[in-house]
Amino acid sequence: MAKIHPTAIIDPSARLADDVEVGPYCIIEEDVVLGAGTRLIAQCYIGAHTTMGSGNTVFPFASLGTDPEDYGYKNEVSYTRIGNNNRFREGVTVNRGTMPGSATVIGDGCFMMANTHVSHNCTVGNAVVMVPYSGVAGHCTVGNNCLISGLSGMHQFCRMGRLAVLSGGSQISMDLAPFMIGDGRNGGVRGFNIVGMRRNGFKPETIRAVKDLYDIFFRHGLNMKNAIEKAEAEVEKLPEVVEFLDFIKTSKRGILTGDRGGRRA
C-alpha cells in the first residue's frame, strides 16, 4: 500500500502506485495519477487531471497541475502530463493547459530548481534544467537538455532548441536555436554550447559543424535567408545540421541573432 501521512488530503478518484509516498499536509485533487516510486515530501499540491510517471520527487510547497494564470480560462478540463524521474524543488509551480482538453507536458529527468515556473500549454523536453527564479510563459517549447539559468525568462510562444542555454538574467521574446547560448534581453547569441555537446558525447566532426553554423548565422552579419543558403551549400548535412536548419526555417517569432539589438530576422 502507498505510504500516506494521516494529514494528507487525497481525492477518492486519485490513483496512486503501491509504493508512492505522500508526506504531511499534501493535497491531491481529482483524476490524479502518480506512478511508481513517486515521493511527495510534504506540503505539496497536485492539481486535478495531473498524470505523473515513475520516480518523481516533489519537494515542499511545490504546486503542480494547478489552474492556468490566464484570464481566458473558464474552468474547463485540461491536463498536466509529467514523465519520469523529475525533481521539483521547493516553490516550483506548473500550470495545466488553458484550452479544453489541452495539456502542459514535461518529459523525463528534468530538474526544476527552487521557485521556477512552467506556464500553461508549455512543452518541456527531457533532461531540462531550470535554475532558481527562472520561468517560461504560456505555449513555450523547450527542447531536450536545455539549461535555463537563474532569473531568466521566455516570452509566450517562444522556443528553445535542443541543448540551448539561456544565460543568467536573460529574457527572450524570439526563438533560441539548438546548441546556441542566448544572453541578455534579446541581446543575441553569444556562443554555442560546446561544453554541453562534449558532455553529451557528440563527435568532434559534429561539434565542428555546429561551430560552422554559429559562425555563419551569428558572426558573419548575414540575413537569415543568405545564412541558410550558405549553410546548406557549405556545411556537411549531419543530423544536427538538419535539425538546426529545420528549427530556423520553422520559426514564427524570429530567431535570436548575433547582434546586440536582438533584431528580428
Cell 555537446, residue? 197
* CATH code of the domain covering residue 228: 1.20.1180.10
Angle at 5 between CA 50 and CA 52, to 5 degrees: 20
* Claim to verify: residue 130 and residue 8 sit in the same structural domain: yes
pLDDT tens, residue order, the chain (265 aa): 689 999 999 999 999 999 999 999 999 999 999 999 999 999 999 999 999 999 999 999 999 999 999 999 999 999 999 999 999 999 999 999 999 999 999 999 999 999 999 999 999 999 999 999 999 999 999 999 999 999 999 999 999 999 999 999 999 999 999 999 999 998 899 999 999 999 999 999 999 999 999 999 999 899 999 999 999 999 999 999 999 999 999 999 999 987 544 333 3
- Final residue belonging to a domain, choices 139, 164, 182: 139
* Claim to verify: residue 9 and residue 134 sit in the same structural domain: yes
Write b or e for each residue in 178-191: b if 16 or more Cβ atoms lie within 10 A of its Cβ, otherwise e.
bbbbbbeebbbbbb
* CATH code of the domain covering residue 41: 2.160.10.10
Residue 135 domain-assigned (yes or no): yes
Residue 80 domain-assigned (yes or no): yes
Structural domain including 64 reads 3-139
pLDDT per residue over 73-89, tens digit each?
999 999 999 999 999 99
Whole-angstrom Cα distance, residue 17 to residue 28? 14
